[in-house]
Amino acid sequence: MIFMKKFYPDKYYDSIFDIDFDYLQKKGIKGLLIDLDNTIISRGKKETSDGLEEWFLRLSEKGFKICIVSNNWKVRAREIAESLDVPFIARAIKPRRKAFEQGMKIINTSEHQTAVIGDQVFTDVFGGNRVNLFTILVVPLSESDLFYTKILRKLERLILKKVQKEK
């Protein structure tokens, strides 16, 4: 049962816009490793929204250091990250630890100062938990997923039912 806790997020929100960043600051969080597809932008979409750009600006003004950590291709990750003026890691191969550690190095934070924000239990949450980061799961922005992600989403639903019962 303890192993299953590695798949549980510390917090679960409907959207990135619902995240309580004052709470994170009180916990000592200074850095955010943020997933790309279906977390901050719908999978396949190329342009960010004004609301997203304002969200990133507010986070920066609050003093958060941000790095996008994505399993997506470098070209896509670079386009989005540059439009938001943040560093990025592409082809991260999450849930491997290396990308999370590399992200913390880029934004110069420790594991106790860093949170991961993503839409997938088996990549973002599990990967972040493996490195002892604070993990935040959000509901995916769209149902558009790769075929293997669709299969994993079914397993995620089982985990999320258990998480919601325990909270």
What CATH number should be reported for the domain whose range is 3-166? 3.40.50.1000
* Residue-wise pLDDT tens digits, 40-96: 998 777 777 778 999 999 999 999 999 999 998 888 899 999 999 999 999 999 999
Pairing mode of beta strands 134-138, 114-118: parallel
* Residue-wise pLDDT tens digits, 95-137: 999 999 999 999 999 999 999 999 989 899 999 999 999 999 9
Q: Do residues 9 and 138 touch, judged by C-beta distance below 8 A?
A: no
Q: CA nearest 113: which of 137, 135, 134?
A: 134
Which range among 23-37, 52-66, 132-146, 152-166 shows the weakest confidence by mean pLDDT?
Answer: 152-166
Query: pLDDT-based confidence at 165, cuts 50/70/90?
Result: very low
Domain definitions of the chain by residue range: 3-166
Query: pLDDT-based confidence at 29, cuts 50/70/90?
Result: very high
Q: Do residues 49 and 166 touch, judged by C-beta distance below 8 A?
A: no
pLDDT of residue 159: 64
Query: pLDDT-based confidence at 2, cuts 50/70/90?
Result: low
Distance CA 96, CA 101 (A): 9
Query: pLDDT-based confidence at 148, cuts 50/70/90?
Result: low
Q: Do residues 133 and 115 touch, judged by C-beta distance below 8 A?
A: yes
pLDDT of residue 167: 47
**Residue type for position 57:** L
